[in-house]
Amino acid sequence: MSTTNDTLANARIAVLGYGSQGRAHALNLKDSGLDVVVGVRKGGPSWNRAYTDGFAVAEPAEAVRGADLVAVLTPDMVQPAVYKEAIEPNIKPGAALLFAHGFNVHFKQIEPRKDIDVILVAPKGPGALVRSEYERGRGVPCIWAVHQDASGQAEAKTKAYADGIGGGRAMIIKTDFKEETETDLFGEQAVLCGGASSLVQAGFETLIEAGYQPEIAYYEVFHELKLIVDLFYEGGIAKMLEFISETAQYGDYVSGPRVIDASVKARMKDVLKDIQDGTFARNWTAEYQAGLPNYKKYKQADLDHPIEAVGAKLRARMTWLHPTTAAPAESLKKAG
């Protein structure tokens, strides 16, 4: 165990939630030699999986009692109820309450007791990567923050936790709850999820409306995006430019700014403003409390978009995506 983890060497860590991040955190902490109990509802699949993985498992309230650090890794919109019902009445003074995303604390959906530490460790990768990199002896970079230091040891606990899940092997970057929350939401909405999905849908529609085959359109504006993103990920824009043709480079230079122009950036600023002033958080909280009517409608619209049907048909023949499944026998027919 590293020196950093001396801070938590004799601590009991309760991990609430056993989804993608919860499972990865819990397993990495356990393999780092730390004492972990998993807090989930009894009888569900998460309970059984955590038990099978070798953890002590308890109902959330029971897991919190006596814990020195409580990691809240349940979905954002569930966390306020979990805090009120399981954490607030049971967390001991001087213990640490840890989040992997600052949404509920920053937007005051949760107002933690003043006698506990409130900290954040957010790995910059999905749970599967957090786990697989740890198993390889490496780690995923983490950002960390201290919102409230009641014990005088909040920073040490935060760094020890980041080290325990493997972040110390890679890089840990200091932030605060405001910066982590607002940049995370903006990235998801404007670029990574909302921006990217809307961009490929618009590109697909443009080619279809011009009379091109759906299969060709899919490959050109959706499938090949992974190749470009992989180059970004590995070596930035410089590597992408190195591996594409001069023709593609020239098209990048003259047409990219025509599509993503100053008006797009202005609308991105509007998105950021809604995040910063709490409009998005209020709308999302109200939507959740109303039973997600618009969320369900928007999601179904994405699932019903023609690019999904075309993509499913094409991906079924991409045997490298399904190594244990034989490719369908029938051939694809040309459209039109």
Q: Is 322 a catalytic residue?
A: no
- Residue 46: which of 20, 67, 66 has the closest Cα? 20
131 is in an annotated binding site: no
Phi then psi for 121, rounded to 5 degrees?
-135, 120
CB neighbours of residue 171 within 10 Å: 13
Give the alpha-carbon dihedral of 17, 23, 24, 26, to 10 degrees: 80
Residue 220 marked as a ligand binder: yes
Residue for token digits 């809307």? 198
259: exposed, middle or buried (Cβ count in 10 Å: 0-12, 13-18, 19+): exposed
- Phi and psi at residue 322, in whole multiples of 5°? -135, 70
111 among the known binding-site residues? no
Residue 19 in marked binding region: yes
User: Is 127 assigned a ligand-binding role in the annotation?
Assistant: yes
Annotated binding residue at 245? yes
Q: Is 188 annotated as a binding residue?
A: yes
| Calpha distance 237→234 (Å, rounded) | 9
Burial class (CB in 10 A: 0-12, 13-18, 19+), 239: middle
The catalytic residue among 25, 101, 106, 147 is 101
182 annotated among ligand-binding-site residues? no
Known binding residue 41? Answer is: yes
The residues annotated with a catalytic role in the active site are 101
Binding-site entries for NADP(+): 18-21, 41, 46, 127
Binding-site entries: 18-21, 41, 46, 127, 184, 188, 220, 224, 245
Binding-site entries for substrate: 245
